Amino acid sequence: MSGLKLAALCGFYPHKLGFCGLQENSAKKNLLSYLSGEKIPEQKIRKILETFKGAFSYYKLIAKSNGIEDPFDEKVVKAYWFGNQLLEKVPVDSLKEMIIKEFVGPGFLSKKMAEKKAREISFTSKAHHSFHVLVIGSVSGRIMLEGKLLDLCRIAWGKVIGYKKGETENANKIIIEYHPLQKKRGKYSLGGPIHKIVFWEKKFIPEIKIGDKVAIHWNHIVQILDAKDLINLKKYTQITIDSLNS
């Protein structure tokens, strides 16, 4: 999967809910058509995804820190959503600077709030989506990320174990086993495995099998994870959790 398509797929569901990106019907229609396999000019999709202020700022930072020209390079996009070695080359000071520079302005954070968040960032923090969800939160002000919404917004992983009761392999709802995010006595952790029903958009991901490991965003499957991506997603999510609990 190309970096541009992965960026579109991971960003589509919060965009559809109105939480990020250019909220115009044409933008939503073009993203849907692109992800469904229709021929939409890549430049048009790039321009739409550049309005996803949160994610695009991280893409630019990760790319610049690794000497990569294209912020939609597949490795860059994977670094943000799932995690990989590119995150190790992003200085924490650059991460703090990005928050103050990119996330301040009308419709975003106040300068005071951005500076406060930047000061509180742990030296072990990585420019990963879990960091943005749990440490920074929404920068658009369109949603308050707290409580159960944190678990919906983070990229979770799970194992496909079956279909919703009474439905078959033709269903668009499947059951996964996953570890929910929880907070007890002020500390974050991943709980024991539970079953959860999630949505599967077959136009975006045509084939999913029982036993597949999948990435979940806002209760929708956004990617089938290979072994390396699964390891990275677990690793960098735990790094964020540990940095918050330290």
Cα–Cα distance measured from residue 155 to residue 157, given in angstroms and rounded to the nearest whole number:
7
The pLDDT score that the predictor gives to residue 145 is 66
Q: Is the dihedral of CA 205, 199, 11, 124 positive or negative?
A: negative
CATH top class, domain 148-245: mainly beta
Query: What is the mean predicted confidence (pLDDT) over 218-242?
Result: 97
Phi, psi of 22 (to 5 degrees): -65, 115
Mean pLDDT confidence for 79-85: 98
Tens of pLDDT, residue by residue over 42-69, are: 999 999 999 988 899 999 999 999 999 9
- The 3-state DSSP class for residue 127 equals coil
122, two tokens = 């742990």
DSSP code at position 195: E
Q: Which of 145-149, 159-163, 218-222 has the lowest mean pLDDT?
A: 145-149
Q: What is the DSSP letter of 85?
A: G
How much is the average pLDDT of 72-89?
98
The predicted structure's pLDDT at residue 170 = 56
Taking a C-beta distance cutoff of 8 angstroms, is the pair 159, 189 a contact? no
Q: Which helix (H) or strand (E) holds 143?
A: none
**How confident is the model at residue 141, as a pLDDT?**
62
Return the beta strands (E) in the chain as ranges.
Answer: 156-163, 173-178, 181-184, 187-190, 194-199, 213-217, 220-224
Mean pLDDT on 62-77: 98
Which pLDDT score is estimated for 144? 64
Token pair, residue 203, equals 């136009």
CA-closest candidate to residue 145, choices 133, 129, 131: 133
Distance from C-alpha of 75 to C-alpha of 1, rounded to nearest angstrom: 11
37: left (phi over 0), alpha (psi -120 to 50) or beta: left
Specify whether the CB–CB gap between 35 and 204 falls below 8 A: yes
Give the three-state DSSP class for 198. strand
On the 0-12 / 13-18 / 19+ scale of CB atoms within 10 A, 217 is buried
Q: Extract the tokens encoding 236.
A: 């960098």
Per the listing, tokens 């021929």 go with 39
Q: Which residues contact 33 (CB under 8 A, 6 or more apart)?
A: 40
β pairing state of 156-163 and 213-217:
antiparallel
Q: Which amino acid is at 36?
A: S
Q: Where are the domains of the chain?
A: 3-136, 148-245
| Global pTM value | 0.92
Q: How far apart are CA 136 and CA 129, in angstroms?
A: 10
The pLDDT assigned to 168 comes to 53
Comparing 102-116, 144-158, 164-178, 181-195, the range with the smallest average pLDDT is 164-178
- Confidence category of residue 195, pLDDT binned at 50, 70, 90: very high
Report pLDDT digits (tens) over 117-144: 999 899 999 999 999 999 988 776 666 6
